[in-house]
Amino acid sequence: MGGDAVARADARADHFLGLAGAQIVATDALLLTQDNLADVIAAKAMMCVHGDAGLGKTLSVNASLRALAPGMVCRVQFRARPTARDIRHELFAALGIGGSPPGKPIEFDQVLKDALAERFRVLVCDEAQWLSRECFEYWRHLWDDRRTDIAIVFVGGGNCYQVLRREPMLSSRVFVWQEFRRMSPEQVLRVIPAFHPVWANTDPEVIAFADTHAGHGNFRSWAKITAHADRALARSGRDRVDREVLGWVFTKLSGRSA
C-alpha cells in the first residue's frame, strides 16, 4: 500500500465506525488544534487536549499531526489503569525497537531514551485520564531528560484535566491546554452538511431536529446517526433524509419504537 493510500486509510480510521464518505471538516476546534500543535512542536513541549467523549479530540490531533509532523508521531493508548511498566512496553513496540525488551527498568529506560534521542518525535498518549501519578511522573522523566528529542501530547476525556492538574510537577510543564466542547446548534448547521454526503442536500430544519433529539453537538453521535441514515436511504430508495427517515434512525439509537 502506497503512502497516500495509507494516509487515506488512517484518516478513515479516525472516524467513528470507519464511516465511509465521512470528511474531516475544518471546525474551529480543529483549526485551533492545528495552531496549538504547531506551537507545541516548535517548542518541543507538552500539550493536554481534554473534553468529553466523542467530541473529535483524537481525530483533530491525528489529522493535524499528519500534516504537521508526518513520520514523526508515536502513539500509545491505554484502556485500563496502566503502570510505568506498561508505558515502557507500549513505547518499545510503538518505536519499533528491535530485539527483546530489557528486563530491568534502568536498562529499559536507557534503551527508550537512546531511541528518543535519535530524532525528533511527537509522543501522543491517548486516553490519558487512565494514567496514575506514577505514569505521569514517568512521562515527565522522559521529557526532562536532556538527550530526548520529543514533544508530548496527552489526549483525554472525562476528568483528564483534573487528573493532570493534580500533578503539579507535570502540569507546570504543560505548554498548551485545549478543551473540546460540543458543537453549538449554529456550528452543527455549518459543519454537518460538509461532514458527509448524506447531509449535503438535507433541509437545515431536519439537521437541527436530529441534533436536538440525538446528535447533541457530539461528533460520535453524529457518526452513528449518519451511518444509520445512509443505510436507511439505501434500503428505501429515497434520495434525502427527512423526519420519517430520522424516526427510523432514532429507533436504532434508542432501542424503542418511534
Percent of the chain with pLDDT over 90: 78
Q: Give tens-digit pLDDT for 150-209.
A: 999 999 987 889 988 988 888 999 999 999 999 999 999 999 999 999 999 999 999 999
Any idea where the domains of the chain sit in the sequence? 28-180, 185-254
Between residues 17 and 219, the one the model is more confident about: 219
Q: What does pTM read for this prediction?
A: 0.88
CATH class of 28-180: alpha beta
Distance set, CA 107 to CA 101, 102, 111 (Å): 9, 6, 6
Neighbours of 123 (CB within 10 A): 23
Q: What mean pLDDT comes out for the span 113-135? A: 95
Task: Give the model confidence (pLDDT) of 68-106 as tens digits.
Answer: 999 999 999 887 889 999 999 999 999 999 999 999 999
Q: What is the mean pLDDT of residues 48-58?
A: 94
What is the per-residue pLDDT for 11? Answer: 56
Alpha-carbon gap, residue 179 to 157, rounded angstroms: 10
